Amino acid sequence: MTVTLSRDPASEAAAVERVRVAIIGAGFAGLGMAIRLRQAGYEDFVVFERASEVGGTWRDNSYPGAAVDVRSHLYSYSFAPNPDWTQVLAGQVELWDYIRRVSRENGVDDHVRLETEVLGGEWDDDAQRWRLRTSRGDVEAQFVVSAMGPLSNPSVPDIPGLEDFRGHVFHSGRWDHDHDLTGERVGVIGTGSSAAQFVPEIAERTAHLTVFQRTPHWTFPRLNRRITRAERAAYHRLPALQRLVRARQYWFHELVLGSAVQHPVVTETISRARLRWVVRDPELRGKLTPSYRMGCKRIVINDSFLPALTRPDVSLVTDPIVRVTPHGVLTADGTEHPLDTIVLGTGFQVMPVADPLRGRDGDTLTERWADRRAAHLGTTVAGFPNYFMLVGPNTATGHTSILLYAEPQIEYVVEVLRHADRHGIGSFEVRQQAQDAFNDGIRERLRTTIWTTGGCDSWYLNERDGTSVLWPGFTWSFRKALRRFDHENYLMHRDAPRRDHGAVRQPD
Ligand code: NAP
């Protein structure tokens, strides 16, 4: 099936494609949006993807050992269960295969424009349309859904001398599979969830591995296991059984891990005991002992990282990095650590926004958020009509599946489209007052979370304006907040100027 794009016959805008919905990003959230649009009967949409394949995080993070740390039956779309997961915590290849398969089976692939980057765009208030410029031409869209993921662009640290290093450098989020680390002296900067997964894998083949740690992370066991063939067969035969397993996993993450993150007394005790058990050397153990509360930063759910650090051919360096030299890394104690390759496990630029887009008043989101990052329900922004963010501010999680937050947002967008169809609405813009009230509430709730009181710096919080990436509560309260389209909080303009965008086919 191909997407039919209507063309404006009247002007040279004849080259401009017109669609009802433009989705930016073909990761878990963007493809989920596309699937639900089709299921709701909407066909007039495109998904712009700058890369050459769909998959988002699970396409990009292909480093050795990459895997999810949320149970797979929960870390999948509620509308596309996968009876074939082979592990309780699936690996990257399996996750990427799942996303591609679900996208294909739900007829979404034909809507995806690969290698097409959205370069810019403005809201045209007269036409009540977004005018987008992409790397493959101009597109006019009534609605834009930004699904770019909160952690999609690698963060390259501003360490002096890094560009002059004579060896090889790459980031964990863009692993260089053509570069063989066998027999090399390798330095890893960072000890977050990504580094903790690839360090044990590459330690098997490097001549020497030096891990540069700025802050120790709390760790917790993965509790992974293989899912047996018999279990998988049972899920095929009895889908209700799989739903039951998913429900159990939901409540485990929600009640056990969600509560543990905010009240970590027991989990801290377990984590400390495990550290004592695995790391016998008191000096190394001291370096690995956090001085802030567990849950303040993202907990590293991992079994093999601590044992890898006890290997004789692995060193943990905690002296601060002064600079990178042409042949290694110089630390504050005056030691130069000679290296052939540096792997940056330094995380991501948090929450990139569709910055080339300019809202009703001509400003970008970065400009609008100069004082404070704020969105209504983490989804819509005053001054940006017909613009939705999936996994926007205050909608990520540190204790369960991100899809439990993305899916209510997706349903919210579908409800908005239905409302537009039912009432002949051309545009929706959240009222500033409603957005402010929502964000004041969030700010109040954030004051008592462990992310604020736990005594650490993390990507969860924006130091400048005190806002958070995470939802300060359980998933059910987020779902409740988005369960219906609160149209009373929106300014609405009637009469979409071009009715040809409004065609809806019957749901599948
Ligand atoms: P991250 O958690 O942000 O960790 C980045 C690491 O780099 C930290 O140890 C940080 O130290 C260090 N770092 C950053 N800049 C540095 C500098 N200039 N000098 C020295 N060290 C520096 O990034 P990530 O490990 O890629 O993980 C990002 C997120 O992705 C995770 O929090 C998690 O939500 C998700 N993730 C999940 C899984 C999973 O198992 N499902 C796996 C990977 C990632 P500081 O702590 O001092 O800042």
The atom number, within ligand 1, closest to the CA of 214 reads 47
Residue 57: both structure tokens together:
């995080």
CA–CA dist 225, 102 (Å, integer): 24
Q: Which residues 6+ apart lie within 8 Å of 104 measured at CB?
A: none
**DSSP classification of residue 53:** S
Domain with CATH 3.50.50.60 in the chain: 2-153+349-430+469-494, 162-217+298-344
Q: Ligand 1 pocket: which residues have CB below 6 Å?
A: 68-69, 151, 157, 159, 172, 189-195, 197, 212, 214-215, 298, 301, 321, 345-348, 459
Pick the CATH number of 162-217+298-344 from 3.90.1150.10, 3.30.365.10, 3.40.50.720, 3.50.50.60: 3.50.50.60
What is the reported pLDDT for 268? Answer: 96
What is the reported pLDDT for 354? Answer: 59
Q: How far is the CA of 446 from the centre of ligand 1 (A)?
A: 22
The atom number, within ligand 1, closest to the CA of 347 reads 23
Are 69 and 193 in contact by the 8 Å Cβ rule? The answer is: yes
Residue 295: both structure tokens together:
């849950």
Cα-to-chain-centroid distance, residue 416: 23
Write out 289-327 in H/E/C secondary structure.
Answer: CCCCCCCCCCCEECCCHHHHHCCCCEEEECCCEEEEECC
CA–CA dist 339, 306 (Å, integer): 22
Q: Which residues 6+ apart lie within 8 Å of 409 measured at CB?
A: 29, 377, 378, 379, 388, 389, 390, 391, 392, 395, 482
Q: Which residues 6+ apart lie within 8 Å of 47 measured at CB?
A: 23, 24, 25, 26, 30, 31, 33, 34, 108, 111, 112, 113
Are 212 and 189 in contact by the 8 Å Cβ rule? The answer is: yes
Q: How far is the CA of 10 from the centre of ligand 1 (A)?
A: 52
Q: Which residues 6+ apart lie within 8 Å of 458 measured at CB?
A: 296, 297, 298, 451
What is the reported pLDDT for 496? Answer: 52
CA–CA dist 433, 436 (Å, integer): 5
What is the reported pLDDT for 10? Answer: 46
- Please count the helices (runs of H) and the strands (runs of E) in the chain: 15, 23
CA torsion 462→464→467→468, rounded to 10°?
10
pLDDT tens for the chain, 508 residues long, are 333 334 444 444 457 899 999 999 999 999 999 999 999 999 999 999 999 999 999 999 999 999 999 999 999 999 999 999 999 999 999 999 999 999 999 999 999 999 999 999 999 999 999 999 999 999 999 999 999 998 999 999 999 999 999 999 999 999 999 999 999 999 999 999 999 999 999 999 999 999 999 999 999 999 999 999 999 999 999 999 999 999 999 999 998 888 888 889 999 999 999 999 999 999 999 999 999 999 999 999 999 999 999 999 999 999 999 999 999 999 999 999 999 999 999 999 987 665 789 999 999 998 888 888 899 999 999 999 999 999 989 998 888 999 999 999 999 999 999 999 999 999 999 999 999 999 999 989 998 999 999 999 999 988 777 778 899 989 999 999 999 999 999 999 986 555 444 434 444 3
What is the reported pLDDT for 461? Answer: 87
Q: Which of 71, 97, 99, 384 shows the shortest CA–CA distance to 242?
A: 71
Q: How far is the CA of 345 from the centre of ligand 1 (A)?
A: 6
Its sign, for the CA torsion 383, 121, 53, 417, is positive
What is the reported pLDDT for 464? Answer: 75
**Domain 2-153+349-430+469-494 superfamily per CATH:** FAD/NAD(P)-binding domain (3.50.50.60)
User: What residue has token string 């983490």?
Assistant: 378
Amino acid, res. 413: V
pTM above 0.95, yes or no: no
Q: How far is the CA of 288 from the centre of ligand 1 (A)?
A: 15
